[in-house]
């Protein structure tokens, strides 16, 4: 099947980044091998990267070698947030892995984002706006008086002006962000749950179909896929439901 708007050049893959938040490397590689043929990206976050490092990323991609097609892109979700010089150094330290996307926190400010962009010019530096686990009450607790939508839009515009070529925002703000930033900025949307699925620790959520209809380019989906008894079947089911949805 072919998707109307290919994400990162993979026209035959569902616009999904499957989150490999696995308890060990063997589980992560098994999940990747099962999901890889169906998704646009493999998302490796802090849990896996801090435990297994660059060698763990290589092991995950080695598990995809049996797939005769182009492997899914690497989405390295490290959410870097530090002074600009440190973030630039951290970005350079993962350059050998050639991530398609690398996340930084937009709250780190424009100089930090610019430093990451300069350090990895061939990677889409992806600015995380407001975490999907946070609602207005949680924002107020850390001193942000704005409602989530207002905060997300302000951070999105700032991050793009600083050079970010992708943004992470919840499905509840994605339509507004899509209208506020250039079309070539990739919008990555976590907090996506199929109808009837457990929302877990997420607060600002929507179905995959709704998120795409509202302007998302890539959906981050973890537990609804990796928690399935048959991961490949879960991916095929989601892929089928999303085909032609854009």
Strands 166-168 and 186-189: parallel
Active site residues: 79
Distance CA 167, CA 181 (A): 10
List the beta strands (DSSP E) in the chain: 14-19, 39-45, 73-80, 101-105, 124-128, 166-168, 186-189, 218-221
CB atoms inside a 10 Å sphere around CB 125: 27
Could you tell me if 117 and 158 are in contact, meaning their C-beta atoms sit under 8 angstroms apart?
no
Distance CA 68, CA 225 (A): 22
DSSP 37: G
């Amino acid at each position: 099947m072919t998707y109307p708007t290919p994400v990162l050049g993979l026209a035959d893959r569902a616009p999904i980044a499957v989150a490999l938040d696995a308890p060990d490397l063997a589980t992560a590689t098994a999940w990747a091998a099962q999901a890889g043929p169906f998704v646009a990206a493999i998302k490796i976050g802090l849990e896996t990267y801090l435990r297994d490092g660059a060698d763990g990323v290589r092991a995950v991609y080695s598990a995809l070698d049996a797939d005769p097609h182009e492997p899914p892109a690497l989405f390295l979700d490290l959410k870097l947030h530090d002074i600009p010089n440190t973030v630039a150094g951290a970005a350079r330290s993962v350059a050998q892995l050639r991530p398609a996307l690398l996340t930084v926190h937009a709250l780190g400010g424009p100089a930090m984002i610019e430093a990451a962009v300069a350090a990895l010019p061939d990677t889409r530096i992806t600015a995380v706006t407001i975490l999907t686990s946070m609602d207005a009450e949680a924002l107020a607790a850390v001193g942000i008086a704005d409602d989530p939508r207002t905060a997300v839009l302000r951070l999105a515009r700032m991050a793009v002006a600083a050079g970010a070529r992708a943004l992470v925002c919840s499905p509840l703000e994605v339509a507004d962000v899509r209208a506020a930033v250039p079309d070539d900025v990739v919008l990555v949307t976590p907090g996506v749950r199929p109808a009837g699925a457990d929302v877990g620790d997420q607060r600002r959520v929507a179905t995959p179909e709704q998120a795409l209809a509202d302007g998302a380019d890539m959906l981050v989906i973890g537990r609804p896929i990796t928690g399935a008894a048959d991961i490949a079947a879960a991916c095929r089911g989601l892929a089928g439901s999303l085909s032609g949805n854009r």
